[in-house]
Chains A and B, each alone.
Chain A
C-alpha cells in the first residue's frame, strides 16, 4: 500500500510538471493546463465565496472535496505536489533529530486559523487564498523560480562544456532537442522570483522541526480536507486492538503525528492516508479496509481561537483595503487582455502565475506584480512592457486562467481589445529630442494599419542645420496597448514611449443575460 501511495505521489508530481510544460506556445488542445489548480477545493470554495458566483470550471474542486467524506485527506497524502516535494525533502534530510512531537503538536490548530482567516476575508469579498493554497504555491514557485533556476544551471553547464570546445555539434543537437521539449529559448526572469523561492525553501525547511510541518500545522487546504474528514462516513486505517502490542512504532513513523497517545486509535483529521503505519507495524495489526463509521473527533478550534482568527481576517482585509491608492503606479498597471473589471479581477485571481508562465513562452509581457496596483494586487499579473509585450497573435493567457479572472477571448476579439495606451515621452524619444530618425516603434507596431504614425517635417536641429525628420505619434483610435513599442524602444532606461491603462477595456458580464461585453474605463 505504501508503495502504491509513493507511485501515486510521483505520478501526480509528473502530471503537475507535464501540465506546467504543457502551458507553452503552441498550446493546442489536450488536457487543460490549469486543471490541477482547479482540483484544489480551497481555490474553488474561496473564489466562489468571494465573488458570489458559481464558477462552473471550479466544480472539479468540489468533487475532490466531496471524496474526502469517504477517503479523508487522501489528496494530501497521495496527490498534492507540495506534499510530495516535502516528502522528497524529508528523504534528503535523512535521519535528523527533530523537535519533540509533544512540543510541536500545539501548532495543530493553526491551520484552522489560517483557513478561518481566509474564509472570513472571502465572506467580505477579499480573496486571500493565493498566499496559502499549496497548488498555487507550487505553480507559482515552479513558474517564477524553480524552472528559471533549472534552465539557468543547464545553460551554465552547456556554457562550460562549449568553452572546453569539444563535441560542439552533438552538444548543440542535444541543446536543440532539450529546447524542443523543456528548455526555454531565452533565459527567463521574473519579478519577485527571490521571494517566491525563499517562501518555498522555508516551507521545505520547516521539515527540520517535524515531518510535513506545513501540512500538519499550516496548510489551509489540509485544514479544509481535515474539516470534512471530521464528518467522514468511512474509516480506512483500522488498528486491531487484539494484535497491537502498543510498541509505538506507528506513532514514530507517522508523518502527520496522527496516531493518538493510546496507540490504538488515530485522528482522521490529521491522517493523510499515507499507509506508513501499516508498513512499519511489526505485528501486522494495522490494515486498510473500508468501514462505515461516523466520525466524532474534535477539530481543536476553541471559541477563543475562532474569534481571534475572525478578527485577524477582518484586520488584514481592512488594512489592505485602506492602504494608500497610488494613482501614479495604478495608472501604469496594464492587465492581461480579457481581464475582468479590477475589483472582480482581484477577487478571482489566485496569483498562480499560470498566465505568466504561458506568456513567458510568447511575448513575455506578464510579470507578477509587487505593489504596483496596491497591496490588494500583490502578485497579480501585470504587463511589464519594457521587458516584454503582449503578442498580437496570442490569446493564451485567458485560456489557462483557472478561475476565470482573465476571460478567454477569440483571437479577433483580443486583437481589437484595448489593454491600455502608448504615449510618447518627447524628452526621451530620439526624433523628438534629437531630431534624428528612428521609428523602431513604428516598425514593430503589429496593427495592420499601424497605431504609430509619423509626420515628416523639416526642422532646425540643435547644430543649426535644417533636416527632414519623421516624428512619430500614437493614433489613439488604433492603439491597443500591447506594449511592443515600449519593449523595443532602443532608448535606455524608461524609453521614449511608455504604457498606461488609459482607454483600457475589461471583460464585463451582463448580470441579467450573462452575456459578455467589453467595459470601457
Chain B
C-alpha cells in the first residue's frame, strides 16, 4: 500500500467527516415507551413542604425505584428558563428539583444530570433560580449546555417537525424525569409538562411557536419522560411565562406526579380553572395517542399533608 501523504489524508478525513455528519441517527427514543405498572395514574399531594410533597407523590406511585434502577443515568429536567427568583414562580421550585435528585440518588442512580436550555443568559438563570446550588447540594451534576452536544435527530412520527436538534445527554440517559412548573402562557394558555421539554432542544426554538400544538406534540413523540412531576407549589396566573409581579403568583402548594405526561398536563389545566379540552396541545397529543386527557378515565389519588 502506498504511503498516504498529508494532502490525501486531509482530503479523505474531510470526505469521511462530511459523509458521517450527513447520516442522521434514527430514533434513539428518549424514555421508555412501555410504562411500569403503577398503583395509580396521578398522585396529587397538597398542603405540605415542597420536598415532602414531592417525596409523598413519588412514593404513592410506588417509589422512585419503579422508575430509576441501580446504576442508571438520570436526567432531571426542571424549568430554569428565566432570570427570576423562585418567589416569582417562573422557574421550577429549587426544593422540588433537589428532592427529585435526592430520590434518584437513593434509588441508586449512578449519575443525575440537571440542565436546561435557558431563554435568558444561562448563568443568570441557573444562579437566580437557585436550582444550580440546591441541585448540586443534592448530588446532581449541574452544567450549562454545550453547543457540541446537540445532535440532529429524525422525528419519524412528526407531522411538521421532521428533524430537530436534541441534546445528546438527554438522548443517552437511561431515565428522563420532567419537572416543569405550572405557569400561564399567552400562546398555549398554560405551560406544563409537554412544553417544558423545549428545554432539551436547540435550533431556532421560536419557530416551534408557529403551529405550536402540532409541533410541540411532534417533539413529544420523540422525547418521552418516564416520569413527570408538576411543580404547582407556586403557580403563575398571568403575564407568564416570566411573570415578575408577585400579585400574579398563587400559592397552590400542590405537586402532581404521573408517568403519563398528557394526564399530568390535563390535571395541571384544572389548577388554572381550565378544562383539558380547552388546551389545543393536549387535544393534539391525545388524538395522536400520546396519553390520556380525560380526567374521568384516570385513576387519580389526592392526599393532603396537613
Q: Which residues of A contact B (CB under 8 A)?
A: 25-26, 158-159, 162, 172, 175-176, 179, 185-187, 361-364, 391-394, 430, 434, 436-440, 442-450, 454, 470, 488-490
Contacts and interface: CB of A to CB of B under 8 A. Distances in A.
A294 B186 CA distance: 76
Given A437-B212, A439-B209, A490-B210, A470 B83 contact: no
Contact of A449 (B83, B121, B245): B245
Given A172-B146, A448-B248, 9 more contacts: A26-B127, A186-B147, A187-B147, A392-B244, A393-B83, A438-B187, A442-B187, A446-B244, A448-B243
B177 to A, nearest CB: 21
Interface of B: 83, 119-124, 127-128, 143-144, 146-148, 185-187, 204-207, 209-212, 239, 241-245, 248
A489 B143 CA distance: 27
A187 B147 CA distance: 9
A199 to B, nearest CB: 29
Contacts of B206: 438, 440, 488-490
B143 A176 contact: yes
B243 to A, nearest CB: 7
26 contacts: A25-B123, A25-B124, A158-B148, A159-B148, A162-B148, A179-B144, A362-B124, A391-B83, A392-B83, A393-B124, A436-B211, A438-B209, A438-B210, A439-B209, A442-B187, A443-B187, A443-B209, A443-B242, A447-B244, A448-B243, A449-B239, A450-B239, A488-B206, A490-B204, A490-B206, A490-B207
A156 to B, nearest CB: 10
B128 to A, nearest CB: 7
A430 B210 contact: yes
A1 B212 CA distance: 70
Given A392-B83, A430-B210, A490-B204, A470 B121 contact: no
Of B83, B205, B209, which is in contact with the most chain A CB atoms at under 10 Å from its CB? B209
A173 to B, nearest CB: 9
Contacts of B239: 448-450
Contacts of B244: 392, 446-448
- Across the A-B interface, give the 3 residue pairs with the lowest CB-CB distance, nearest first: A490-B206, A448-B244, A448-B245
B196 to A, nearest CB: 14
Contacts of B148: 158-159, 162
Contacts of A439: 186-187, 209
A437 B122 contact: no
Of A392, A437, A443, A450, which is in contact with the most chain B CB atoms at under 10 Å from its CB? A443
A470 B123 contact: no
B186 A454 contact: yes
Contacts of B241: 443
A162 B122 CA distance: 23
Contacts of B245: 448-449
Contact of B209 (A175, A176, A179, A490): A490
B143 A361 contact: no
Nearest to B248: A448
A437 B187 contact: yes
B123 A361 contact: yes
Contacts of B122: 185
Contacts of B120: 363, 391
Of A361, A391, A438, which is in contact with the most chain B CB atoms at under 10 Å from its CB? A438
B83 A185 contact: no
B144 A393 contact: no
B124 A470 contact: no
A162 B186 CA distance: 41
Nearest to A364: B121
Contacts of B242: 443-446
A391 B83 CA distance: 9
Contacts of A437: 187, 209-210, 212
A393 B128 contact: yes
Contacts of A393: 83, 124, 128
Contact of A172 (B121, B143, B147, B211): B143
Nearest to B119: A444
Contacts of B123: 25-26, 185, 361
A394 B207 CA distance: 27
Given A172-B146, A443-B241, A448-B244, A25 B121 contact: yes
Contact of B186 (A25, A172, A443): A443
Contacts of B185: 443
Contacts of A392: 83, 244
A438 B208 CA distance: 8
A367 to B, nearest CB: 16
Nearest to B128: A393
Of B83, B143, B186, B241, which is in contact with the most chain A CB atoms at under 10 Å from its CB? B186
Given A26-B127, A448-B243, A361 B144 contact: no
A26 B144 CA distance: 15
Contacts of B128: 393
Contacts of A450: 239
A488 B207 contact: no
B190 to A, nearest CB: 13
A96 to B, nearest CB: 30
Of A434, A450, A488, which is in contact with the most chain B CB atoms at under 10 Å from its CB? A450
A444 B90 CA distance: 12
A454 B186 CA distance: 9
A443 B210 CA distance: 13
Contacts of B210: 430, 434, 436-438, 490
Nearest to A434: B210
B209 A361 contact: no
A311 to B, nearest CB: 48
A436 B120 CA distance: 25
A3 to B, nearest CB: 40
A437 to B, nearest CB: 6
